[in-house]
Amino acid sequence: MTAEQQVHEIVIVGGGAGGLELATRLGDKLGKKKRANITLIDASPSHLWKPLLYEVAAGSLDSYAERLEYLAQGHWHHFRFRLGRMDGLNRVRQEISVAPTLDDEGVEIIPRRSFHYDTLIIAVGSVGNDFGVPGVKEHCIMLDTPEQAREFHRHHINACLRAHTQTAAVTPGQVTVGIVGAGATGVELAAELHDTTRELSAYGLEKIDPDKSLKLLIVEASDRILPGLPPRLSAAAAERLAELGVEVHTNERVVEVRRDGMLTADGKFIPASMMVWSAGIKAPDFLKDLDGLETNRINQLVVRPTLQTTRDDNIFALGDCAACPMPNGSNVPPRAQAAHQQASLMAKAICRRFRGKPLLEYVYRDYGSLVALGRFSTVGNLMGALTGGSIMIEGTMARLVYWSLHKMHEIALHGWFKTALTTYAHFISTPTRARIKLH
């Protein structure tokens, strides 16, 4: 085959919401017709929608039942999946380097490999940012992956079992969960833990009273919870957390994490037996100084409105790992809706590029924010094109809209018919499944 006849190689690194949706769309549009080879690379063999991780941590969602296997998705939608973690880039040779994959005992499963690309899209998402605070890595769990969420759940279940079976009486606040950061993840986790711990009590662990033996607390450096969202939404969420008995410490910046609690800048020590760090994000460290690509202070790749990196027209970035400018001078916020929008635009842009047409420019459309506060409560605001302004919603309506966000992601991956079937199957099987995962 001559160079002129070679098929265009599109490599997508990162199988999160944006990367997987893009691989699926391009596979259906270009891979199926053999107009391009689409390769998706991810360090995990399966996908779970990241906004669901707080439910995995609380035990209300079985991550194994909800995960999607990349190999199967690639087979169905005409792209190739390769397991591995990108750790290098050679822009001259147009190759990425993927580190060896090891098993739990450190034995090599897959050797180091390199992949050639004509178009490279980096969509590796974000990870928790500990800001260099001492003790975070040793004593806190971050909720970046299903494995971390399952680890926290195991710790929580074990603490509850230990308290229930001890001969001495369970003391108030014996099981204390401290959450650093009052963004959506921290707030949703606190509310969900209250609900699932109540389920534990109902299942027979009657010594575990979520209103007495369990103590939930949130520590936030800002003056209110959910600081990135409208004040009225923060106020509604704070009111709901107060009803659940969640202790909130605002204007408190954690400067050290110890085995038994957190120390704040004001010298206050806040005891906790389990701690979760959700105080901020950054892009993965390997992006910093990646063969000369421009990054910002949190390792995000700086991109133009076309989502092309500033120093290489053949390399794109989307989602949380991209610093995409907005007209007001700020960057597109790291939200699932932004990754979904960028993936949709990128699929159209790549097809236009094949036809020799100019790339499209991404314009962020904020459709609002939603925060789940336990099983029966959700608050949020809808705005932009949906309403012509901004309206606050609560209760059942907000819960339905929140649920529909996940369904939109599933529709992007599977289509309407398959999503409808799996949704129906989920509802009819609900009475036979435990409300909380107990192991």
Beta-bridged to residue 372, according to DSSP, are 378
Q: What percent of the chain has pLDDT over 90?
A: 63
Whether residue 386 sits in one domain with residue 340: no
pLDDT of residue 279: 94
Provide the domain count of the chain. Answer: 3
Whether residue 145 sits in one domain with residue 225: yes
Q: At 268, which CATH number?
A: 3.50.50.100
Question: Tens of pLDDT along 243-256?
Answer: 989 999 999 999 99
Question: Tens of pLDDT along 407-431?
Answer: 888 898 998 988 888 888 877 866 5
pLDDT of residue 90: 98
pLDDT of residue 388: 47
- Asked whether residue 201 carries a pLDDT value surpassing 80, the answer given is no
- Asked whether residue 384 carries a pLDDT value surpassing 70, the answer given is no
CA distances from 29 to 34, 68, 71, 124 (A): 9, 21, 18, 22
pLDDT of residue 83: 97
Output the six-digit token pair for 376: 């029966």
- pLDDT class for 387, splitting at 50, 70, 90? very low
Phi, psi of 45 (to 5 degrees): -80, -10
Whether residue 216 sits in one domain with residue 267: yes
Q: Is residue 230 a contact partner of residue 207, using CB atoms and an 8 Å limit?
A: no
Whether residue 334 sits in one domain with residue 219: no
Question: Tens of pLDDT along 294-336?
Answer: 999 999 999 999 999 999 999 999 999 999 999 888 999 998 8
Whether residue 261 sits in one domain with residue 308: no
Strand, coil or helix: 219:
strand
Q: Is residue 318 a contact partner of residue 123, using CB atoms and an 8 Å limit?
A: yes
Question: Tens of pLDDT along 142-172?
Answer: 999 999 999 999 999 888 888 888 888 777 7
Q: Is residue 438 a contact partner of residue 203, using CB atoms and an 8 Å limit?
A: yes
Q: Is residue 200 a contact partner of residue 153, using CB atoms and an 8 Å limit?
A: no
Q: At 105, which CATH number?
A: 3.50.50.60
361 within some domain: no
pLDDT of residue 40: 98
Range of the domain at 239: 136-280
pLDDT of residue 208: 74
Please state the rounded mean pLDDT for residues 120-128. 97
Cα distance between residue 194 and residue 217, in whole Å: 11
- Asked whether residue 436 carries a pLDDT value surpassing 80, the answer given is no
Please state the rounded mean pLDDT for residues 339-362. 93
Whether residue 232 sits in one domain with residue 259: yes
Whether residue 261 sits in one domain with residue 326: no
Phi, psi of 218 (to 5 degrees): -125, 135
* pLDDT top residue among 418 and 27: 27
Cα distance between residue 24 and residue 1, in whole Å: 27
Whether residue 104 sits in one domain with residue 218: no
Cα distance between residue 311 and residue 299, in whole Å: 15
pLDDT of residue 377: 72
433 within some domain: no
pLDDT of residue 4: 47
Question: Tens of pLDDT along 392-413?
Answer: 666 666 677 777 888 888 898 9
Q: Of 261, 280, 299, which one is at a domain's C-terminal end?
A: 280
pLDDT of residue 439: 56
Please state the rounded mean pLDDT for residues 374-383. 68
49 within some domain: yes
pLDDT of residue 78: 97
Helix, strand, coil fractions of the chain, as percent rounded to 5: 35, 25, 40
**10 Å Cβ neighbour count for 171?**
11
439 within some domain: no
397 within some domain: yes
Whether residue 214 sits in one domain with residue 174: yes
Whether residue 418 sits in one domain with residue 400: yes
108 within some domain: yes
438 within some domain: no
pTM of the entire structure?
0.91
pLDDT of residue 140: 96
Cα distance between residue 225 and residue 219, in whole Å: 9
Q: Of 354, 381, 407, which one is at a domain's C-terminal end?
A: 354
Average pLDDT of the chain, as a whole number: 89
398 within some domain: yes
pLDDT of residue 386: 41
Whether residue 60 sits in one domain with residue 181: no
Whether residue 144 sits in one domain with residue 63: no
- Asked whether residue 207 carries a pLDDT value surpassing 90, the answer given is no
- pLDDT class for 66, splitting at 50, 70, 90? confident
